[in-house]
Chain A
Amino acid sequence: MGKEPAAPREQRHSQLLRGVLDLCLLALIAERPRFGYEIVEALGESGLELVSEGSIYPLLARMERNGLADTYRAPSPSGGAPRKYYRPTEAGLAELEAGRTAWLAFRGAVDQALSAGAPTEDTPEEGK
């Protein structure tokens, strides 16, 4: 049986991000209300580059529909026309807390599983 070709790094990154992007968005708007472009910039500063920047809008809309976030229009600090800001509701903050707990448990489990096959200092290297 042939080995599957390794997924490109970006593809893996994108798949991982897809599962937690809603939590990241909730965390960013919980820090302070932000508009769409600010959210994308903040994600980029954290090292989370999106394949398409606009993919946050369906997620933000879903959060709004599910009562996890609400919106208001206000002038941006840089001036210009009022922007649409997103902020979490009480339910959104509760969802964020539950998501954080789930993520930490999940990360711990994945770390444990991945460390099983990782080389350690005690492991003798082949051919030496």
Chain B
Amino acid sequence: MTPDQVLDRCRTEWMFHDMPRDAVDDMLTELREHLEDSARAGRSAAVVVGDDVAAFASSWAAEHPSRPPRNTPGLLARHAYAGSVALLSASHLVGRTAEAELVPGSVAAVCLFSALMTFTPYWRAVLHWPLWRWTALSCTGFAVLLALFLIGREPVLLRVPWWATALLLLPGLAASAVSWWRGKRREHAAST
């Protein structure tokens, strides 16, 4: 693994561990300097970070003073919200219907999605797995979802009209806009 690949992996880990941007930049600078010094001494990047880069980056993030405390209920709620909105939107768009049906299968799918997103390092699979493993995971996920909807398609718990889905989407859009605006403001402050 080249130093740039190591730095890229570490950046991903730290961002998905919700480390503040300033702390990530600081850690990357420190690690880059160390990798450069080691390279000058004829040592490889693996000598610095070991065989498991993700474990190295995670352990550093876990000890860092800037790491925000993990808010598991909050994370679960955010992922459940995102999963619900995505599922309802997909029901309207794919089914071309003004009314999406909420069934036990969809509740189970949202719960599964939230749990996976909250308790697993999913980004490692998304960004770093080889294609064959990623394809296998996608097929398994699709099969599980299909089974959930076949088993739990009745009874209909709730019928959600399109305008309710649109209303539900609004807080997420507002939060994304605020986050984008804050990022722009931070970039502007850093450049001046």
B-binding residues in A (CB < 8 A): 35-37, 40, 51-55, 57-59, 61-62, 64-65, 81, 83-84
Contact = CB atoms under 8 A, between A and B. Distances in A.
A83 B30 CA distance: 7
Given A36-B30, A52-B50, A83-B33, A58 B38 contact: no
A65 B64 contact: yes
Interface of B: 26-27, 29-31, 33-34, 37-38, 43, 46-50, 56, 59-60, 62-65
Contacts of B50: 51-52, 54-55
24 contacts: A35-B33, A36-B30, A37-B33, A40-B34, A52-B47, A52-B49, A53-B38, A53-B43, A53-B48, A54-B60, A55-B56, A57-B30, A57-B31, A57-B60, A59-B63, A61-B63, A61-B64, A64-B65, A65-B63, A81-B29, A81-B33, A84-B26, A84-B29, A84-B33
B34 A52 contact: no
A62 B61 CA distance: 10
Nearest to A56: B34
Contact of A37 (B27, B29, B34, B65): B34
Q: Is the interface of B mostly helix, strand, loop or mixed?
A: helix
B63 A54 contact: no
Contacts, number: 56
Contacts of B47: 52-53
Which label, helix, strand, loop or mixed, suits the secondary structure of the A interface? Answer: helix
Given A37-B38, A64-B65, A65-B64, A54 B33 contact: no
Contacts of A37: 33-34, 37-38
A65 B63 CA distance: 7
Given A37-B38, A52-B46, A61-B64, 8 more contacts: A36-B33, A37-B34, A53-B43, A53-B48, A54-B48, A54-B49, A54-B60, A55-B50
B63 A53 contact: no
The 6 closest A-B pairs by CB, nearest first: A52-B50, A65-B65, A61-B63, A37-B37, A62-B63, A58-B63
A52 B49 CA distance: 6
